[in-house]
Amino acid sequence: MKFSFKPVNLIILISSVLLFSSCAVMKARKELKQQLRTDMQEQQSTIKRIESLDSSRLAKFEKGELDDQSNQQIGWYNDSVKNVAMKHYMEDRIILSKRIKHKALDSLVLRIIKIKEQAKGNLDNLSFIDNLLSTNTFTRLNTASVFGPGQFIIDLAENPAGADPLKLAVSDMLSFVSKFPNRKLNGTFVVLGYADAQQIAQGSSLDSLLRESLGKFGTWVNADLNRELSRLRAGSVTSVIKIFLGEQMKNKQMGDLKIDYLPQGRGEEFPNPRIKDYKENDERRRVVLVYWSVFPEL
């Protein structure tokens, strides 16, 4: 049995196919436009979230509760994500302002998929940073509560309670890390030692020890000695932190965690630049500031 199409039937068939194809393209174009509008809203939401995080970061930094390195790292990451979000927002806006060609549909859909994948990773990291900024990561030690007069080594046997704030700081860091068991993390302890400007008695045992540490043949003034004293105290605090970390990590599964230590002696610099009434002999200047931070691979 033979089938044959009359010209009119063939025209109807072709018209139907074209109409169906046209409807499919219109539907795909409409769905893409909605995806673009949704993406624009999500990019705006991301930008607002970053601005809120930056406010929290700056507030914590200005209070002296966030170290320079962490402040810069968070600020850099926030800026990079914000720039990407603004770029995607503007691109979406331009695409929506023009007629979307049929041949461009597939590539534009793939673009949206890639943007969403990237956005998920960025949002996870922003959530991590938000959690970090909401956690106390700062400890201020008065040197008199930790070191004996003229001393720069912490004696845990003689004064175990003096190091309790350090034990708590270590515990806080590990508790934070335990919230993210499946992430590769980099932790840092920044330990900053400070001293006031009071004179170290020439010929005293402390004077001799500091000059020997600096180098016997140097011409050292009092500011050099105080800087070395603050450096040695920062180093001693760091050593105790390492001991506590080793003890607390023995029976814990911390996943993929790497920890760096950055002790520094700041000498007679002011611990808090906003305080304007520091004196030469001032207990507020004789401190060790301890900051910890943890970051994923940003």
- What string of pLDDT tens digits covers the 298 residues of the chain? 555 555 655 555 455 444 445 566 678 788 888 999 999 999 999 999 999 999 999 999 999 999 999 999 999 999 999 999 999 999 999 999 988 887 888 899 899 999 999 999 999 999 999 999 999 999 999 999 999 888 899 988 888 898 999 999 999 999 999 999 888 999 999 999 999 999 999 999 999 999 999 987 778 999 999 999 999 999 999 999 999 999 998 877 766 889 999 999 999 999 998 889 999 999 999 999 999 999 998 7
The answer to the question of residue 35 being in a domain is yes
The candidate with the shortest Cα–Cα distance to 291, out of 275, 271, 274, is 271
Cβ neighbours, 10 Å, residue 278: 15
β-bridge pairing 287-296 and 138-142 = antiparallel
The tokens describing 229, both together, are 């004293």
State which residues form the domain around 56. Answer: 7-133
User: How distant is the alpha carbon of residue 65 from its chain centre?
Assistant: 13
Q: Is residue 111 domain-shared with residue 147, that is, in the same domain?
A: no
Residues 194 and 267: beta-carbon distance below 8 Å? yes
Domain boundary among 100, 133, 166: 133
The candidate with the shortest Cα–Cα distance to 108, out of 90, 95, 93, 121, is 95
Q: Is residue 128 domain-shared with residue 220, that is, in the same domain?
A: no
Domain boundary among 117, 133, 149: 133
Query: 138 pairs with which residues across the strands?
Result: 291
Q: Is residue 20 domain-shared with residue 74, that is, in the same domain?
A: yes
What pLDDT score was predicted for residue 298?
Answer: 75
The answer to the question of residue 1 being in a domain is no
The answer to the question of residue 73 being in a domain is yes
Q: How far is CA 234 from CA 47, 76, 146, 291, 294, in A?
A: 39, 28, 11, 12, 20
Determine the 3-state secondary structure of 69 from DSSP.
helix
What pLDDT score was predicted for residue 172?
Answer: 96
Q: Is residue 165 domain-shared with residue 96, that is, in the same domain?
A: no
User: How distant is the alpha carbon of residue 262 from its chain centre?
Assistant: 16
Nearest-angstrom CA–CA distance, 285 and 1: 105
* Residue 198 φ then ψ, to 5°: -70, 150
The answer to the question of residue 183 being in a domain is yes
Nearest-angstrom CA–CA distance, 53 and 243: 34
Q: Is residue 231 domain-shared with residue 203, that is, in the same domain?
A: yes
Task: Give the HSE-up count for residue 253: Cα atoms under 13 Å, Cβ half-sphere.
Answer: 4
Task: Give the HSE-up count for residue 130: Cα atoms under 13 Å, Cβ half-sphere.
Answer: 12
Domain boundary among 103, 133, 163: 133
Secondary-structure percent of the chain, ordered helix, strand, coil, rounded to 5: 60, 10, 30
The candidate with the shortest Cα–Cα distance to 258, out of 212, 295, 220, is 295
Number of domains forming the structure of the chain: 2
What pLDDT score was predicted for residue 2?
Answer: 54
The answer to the question of residue 2 being in a domain is no
What pLDDT score was predicted for residue 113?
Answer: 92
Would the pTM of this model clear 0.85, i.e. be above it?
A: yes
The tokens describing 64, both together, are 């002296």
Burial 81-119 (b: 16+ CB within 10 A, else e): bbebbeebbebbeebeeeebeeeeeeebeebbeebeeeb
Q: Is residue 114 domain-shared with residue 151, that is, in the same domain?
A: no
Q: Is residue 230 domain-shared with residue 126, that is, in the same domain?
A: no
Q: Is residue 154 domain-shared with residue 129, that is, in the same domain?
A: no
What pLDDT score was predicted for residue 291?
Answer: 98
The answer to the question of residue 280 being in a domain is yes
Residues 191 and 259: beta-carbon distance below 8 Å? no
Q: Is residue 292 domain-shared with residue 194, that is, in the same domain?
A: yes
Q: Is residue 269 domain-shared with residue 160, that is, in the same domain?
A: yes
What pLDDT score was predicted for residue 100?
Answer: 81
Q: Is residue 128 domain-shared with residue 143, that is, in the same domain?
A: no
Q: Is residue 99 domain-shared with residue 159, that is, in the same domain?
A: no
CATH code of the domain containing 282: 3.30.1330
